[in-house]
A and B are shown apart, each in its own frame.
Chain A
Amino acid sequence: MGTRVDAGKAKDICPLGGHPWVTGASLDKRRVALITTAGIHRQDDTPFSNKTAAEYRIIPGAIQANELVMSHLSSNFDRTGFQQDVNVVFPLDRLRELEAGKVIGSVADYHYAFNGSTPIPQLEPRVRQLAGLLKKDAVDAVLLTPV
């Protein structure tokens, strides 16, 4: 059962308006990318901070789990699950297995991470930029995971 410690901040969440809806091929034909707001990145990347919170970090599709760390700004979520298994936050190994099992078409070459406690409008320019990059990678489905 999950904790709901951040639910009280929901008053700060505002709808953006509009209900865009994109359809596509069946799942077994789709190329999938992961986008996480867990504030994870490679060991050598610049950690997230409150001054860089609107940035993103690139996670190459071939990365190994032991290369990923977390510098999310919030202290209000469990990190022991991530410490034991990256996939409980960023399920790249599972995505590879779904590709091997032909459940999805393929795994994108690049995935991306944001720091999730950042106000959404601040992230918009970067997200728009990523949308273009994802399409260049032939991605046609995105799975977003929070933390």
Chain B
Amino acid sequence: MGGLAIYFEEDGLATTQISLIRIHSERTHPPRALWVPFELGRPLGLPNDPAFQKRVMRAAFALLDAEQGPVLVNYAEDVPASAAGQDADAMNGMVCLIDLLKLPDKTAPTSEIGVALMKEVAALQPWYDLAVTSRRRTTVGPSGLSAVEAGKYLAAFLEDQATQCPRDDMPPARVLKLAYEDLKAYYTEAITAQPGFGTSKRVEDWLFRETVLGTALWRLREICRAGGDEHYGYLGRNSIVPDRQINPAT
């Protein structure tokens, strides 16, 4: 991020930026940077809080008035503790019932984890639908597959890495990546529509420790890391399970 600012500034454009990782800004020396103490993924701090977000922006824009630089300033206001992942009980009561549903069709996976995954996807559907209705948007979609289709592909891949890719216009590893990211988005959009959905860290813990999808993703990570394929290996090393789930102490 800091490097981009330097390139823009060299080409005559004034920049200011928000910084989430202070040491990166300390090393790259962007012209103007406002370090914020927020969670990665939330540079403006709080979703659905326009006043909070605009305070952050005004602080970043204020750096344009500095007479010389580089300028690296700490933003003083943090998000409330209740929004910052401190409440371990925040997800109590989260529900994901999977016992009441029939398999959606005869092409559904037959493996134990595949069957369970499809039931789980179906069980979350009402909450996902509610999320889409209330937010009037969804971030599910880059794979071009429905959640059911993405789940089928993931389940099939776990059983046979040579399984037929559901799209022929992209490399299979890319489709796989987009498919499991769409599933993650489907799950997290659904669960955060439930009342008292808790913090982002608890949502992540729920996804990777308490769901069938989480079990599938851990298994997928091992498969991708163990295989010799360059592209799947990259996914397994970098892009399936977050580092803080792998090494909780970090």
Binding site for B on A (CB under 8 A): 1-8, 10, 13-16, 18-24, 27, 30, 35, 37, 43, 47, 49-51, 65-66, 68-71, 73-89, 91, 93-95, 97-98, 103-104, 114, 116, 120-121, 123-124, 127-128, 130-132, 134-135, 139-147
The minimal Cβ–Cβ distance linking B119 to chain A, given in whole angstroms, is 23
Contact in complex: B7, A128 (CB < 8 Å): yes
Chain A residues positioned under 8 Å from B50 (CB to CB): 87, 93-94, 97
Asked whether any CB of chain A lies closer than 8 Å to the CB of B57, the reply is yes
The minimal Cβ–Cβ distance linking A47 to chain B, given in whole angstroms, is 4
Interface readout for B18-47 with A: 1 if CB under 8 Å, 0 if not? 111101100111110000111111111111
Q: A102–B108 Cα gap in the complex (Å)?
A: 56
Chain B residues positioned under 8 Å from A123 (CB to CB): 3-4, 7
Contact in complex: A135, B12 (CB < 8 Å): yes
Select which of B1, B16, B141 is within 8 A of A141 by beta carbon.
B16
Q: A83–B187 Cα gap in the complex (Å)?
A: 11
Contact in complex: A84, B47 (CB < 8 Å): yes
Interface readout for B199-210 with A: 1 if CB under 8 Å, 0 if not? 011011000000
Q: A104–B16 Cα gap in the complex (Å)?
A: 14
Given contacts A20-B31, A21-B31, A142-B8, contact A37 B1 (CB under 8 A): yes
Given contacts A79-B139, A79-B185, contact A88 B243 (CB under 8 A): no
Given contacts A71-B178, A88-B43, A144-B4, contact A79 B15 (CB under 8 A): no
Q: Which A-chain residue is minimally distant from B208 (CB atoms)? A: A75
Contact in complex: B40, A78 (CB < 8 Å): yes
Asked whether any CB of chain A lies closer than 8 Å to the CB of B106, the reply is no
Interface size on B, residues (CB 8 A): 93
Q: A95–B58 Cα gap in the complex (Å)?
A: 10
Chain A residues positioned under 8 Å from B7 (CB to CB): 16, 123-124, 127-128, 131
Q: A89–B159 Cα gap in the complex (Å)?
A: 37
Contact in complex: A27, B4 (CB < 8 Å): no
Q: A14–B8 Cα gap in the complex (Å)?
A: 17
Select which of B31, B44, B61, B170 is within 8 A of A19 by beta carbon.
B31
Q: A16–B70 Cα gap in the complex (Å)?
A: 13
The minimal Cβ–Cβ distance linking B105 to chain A, given in whole angstroms, is 26
B6, B81, B204: most-surrounded residue (chain A CB, <10 A): B6
Contact in complex: A69, B142 (CB < 8 Å): yes
Asked whether any CB of chain A lies closer than 8 Å to the CB of B229, the reply is no
Select which of B142, B231, B244 is within 8 A of A5 by beta carbon.
B244
Chain B residues positioned under 8 Å from A37 (CB to CB): 1, 4
